[in-house]
Amino acid sequence: MKMKYALLAIGAACLSAGCKTTEEVAEDLAASEMLTEARELLSNKSYAAARDTILSIRRKHPTALEVRRAAILTLDSVELMATRDSMVRFEDSLNTLKQRFQAMKPRVNGRTNEAYYEAQRQIFEMQQHFDELCAKAKFYVRKIDIDRENAVPTVEK
């Protein structure tokens, strides 16, 4: 309900300032509605649907530039939240494997324990992947910060 009033206020301000045509205002309103939907999907952890909705904004509303700028931040947030959720699940799996590995011995009855070395390799690979997820999350945190710092305030003429 609040969003509808905000959208109407934006549309009225643009029309009264003479900055956009009626079609452009309609385009902005439609894009804003899609962005709101994407944000709701993000809050419900429907990352793929939120990502698809934002990409649809780009295709369907190419002239809604301000909404598209806001959508970039939302898309970065989608990627960050999806990565963080993956990190949590992946870390649990990695910790479980590490616990099982601690109980293994490199040699059994004087012979090399293949299961031990296979588990060691799996832990190494999983740790590499986890480190990549951490780097990806850091990237998106920095990108969001930079995008917010560089956000140009809109001034209607």
The 10s digit of each residue's pLDDT in 64-91 is: 888 988 999 999 999 999 999 999 999 9
Quick check: is 154 in a domain? Answer: no
Quick check: is 157 in a domain? Answer: no
> Residue 107 phi/psi, 5° resolution?
-130, 140
**For position 26, what pLDDT does the model report?**
84
What residue numbers bound the domain in which 57 lies? Answer: 2-149
Quick check: is 111 in a domain? Answer: yes
**For position 152, what pLDDT does the model report?**
53
Instruction: Give the integer Cα–Cα distance in Å for 115 and 98.
Output: 13
Find the angle CA(148)-CA(149)-CA(154) to the nearest 5 degrees: 75
What pTM did the predictor assign? Answer: 0.71
Which residues have CB under 8 Å from 27's CB, separation 6+?
61, 63, 64
Instruction: Give the integer Cα–Cα distance in Å for 154 and 17.
Output: 13
C-beta of residue 76 within 8 angstroms of C-beta of residue 144: yes
Quick check: is 155 in a domain? Answer: no
- The structural domain count of the chain equals 1
Coil, helix or strand at residue 153: coil
Quick check: is 108 in a domain? Answer: yes
| pLDDT beneath 50, residues of the chain | 16-17, 154-157
Quick check: is 98 in a domain? Answer: yes
**For position 52, what pLDDT does the model report?**
95
Coil, helix or strand at residue 152: coil
Quick check: is 156 in a domain? Answer: no
